[in-house]
Chains A and B, each alone.
Chain A
Amino acid sequence: MPVQDFEQLFQQKIDAEVKIEPKDWMPDAYRKTNIRQISQHAHSEIVGMLPEGNWITRAPSLKRKAILLAKVQDEAGHGLYLYSAAETLGMSRDEMINDLHSGKAKYSSIFNYPTLTWADIGAIGWLVDGAAIMNQVMLCRTSYGPYARAMVRICKEESFHQRQGFESLLVLSKGTPEQKAMCQDAINRWWWPALMMFGPKDSESTNSDQSMKWKIKRKSNDELRQNFVDMIAEQVKVLGMTLPDPALKWNEERKHYDFGEINWEEFWNVVKGNGPCNKQRLEARRKAHENGRWVREAAMAHAAKLAERRKQEAA
Chain B
Amino acid sequence: MNLLIRKFYYGDIPEEKGGGSYYQTEQDTTTWPLWEVFIRSKQGLDHKHVGSLHAADAQMAIENARDVYTRRMEGVSIWVVESKHITASNPEEAGELYEPAADKVYRHPTFYQLPDEVNYM
Contacts and interface: CB of A to CB of B under 8 A. Distances in A.
Contacts of A307: 57
A45 to B, nearest CB: 12
B12 interface: yes
Interface range for B: 35 or more
Contacts of B26: 290
B12 A92 contact: no
B25 A299 contact: no
Q: Chain B contact residues: over half helix, strand or loop, or mixed?
A: loop
Interface stretch (A57-65, A73-81, A228-236, A250-258): A73-81
B25 A36 contact: no
A78 B54 CA distance: 15
A6 B121 CA distance: 46
Interface in B63-96: 67-69, 71-72, 88, 90-92
- Which has the most chain B C-beta neighbours within 10 Å: A85, A94, A271? A271
Nearest to B72: A157
19 contacts: A21-B91, A24-B91, A40-B11, A73-B71, A77-B67, A84-B34, A92-B31, A102-B23, A102-B25, A103-B23, A104-B6, A104-B8, A105-B8, A106-B13, A206-B14, A207-B12, A290-B26, A296-B28, A296-B32
A295 to B, nearest CB: 10
Contacts of B41: none
B56 A302 contact: yes
A71 to B, nearest CB: 11
B96 to A, nearest CB: 15
A115 interface: no
A153 B9 CA distance: 26
Contacts of B29: 297
B19 A293 contact: no
Interface residues of A, number: 53
A235 B54 CA distance: 41
Given A200-B12, A299-B60, A23 B68 contact: no
Contacts of B68: 77, 80-81
Contacts of A94: 27-28, 31
A213 interface: no
Contacts of B27: 94
Contacts of A37: 10-11
B110 interface: no
A205 B11 CA distance: 9
Given A40-B11, A81-B68, 10 more contacts: A37-B10, A70-B71, A77-B69, A104-B5, A153-B50, A199-B11, A205-B14, A221-B12, A299-B57, A306-B57
B90 to A, nearest CB: 7
B12 to A, nearest CB: 4
Interface in A176-196: none
A133 interface: no
A307 B82 CA distance: 14
Contacts of A273: 7, 19, 21
Contact of A303 (B17, B56, B67): B56
A97 to B, nearest CB: 9
Nearest to B90: A23
Contact of B12 (A157, A205, A302): A205
A84 B33 CA distance: 12
Contact of A25 (B19, B21, B92): B92
Nearest to B18: A272
B60 A23 contact: no
Interface in A148-180: 149-150, 153, 157
Given A93-B31, A296-B32, A77 B71 contact: yes
B3 interface: yes
Contacts of B32: 296, 299-300
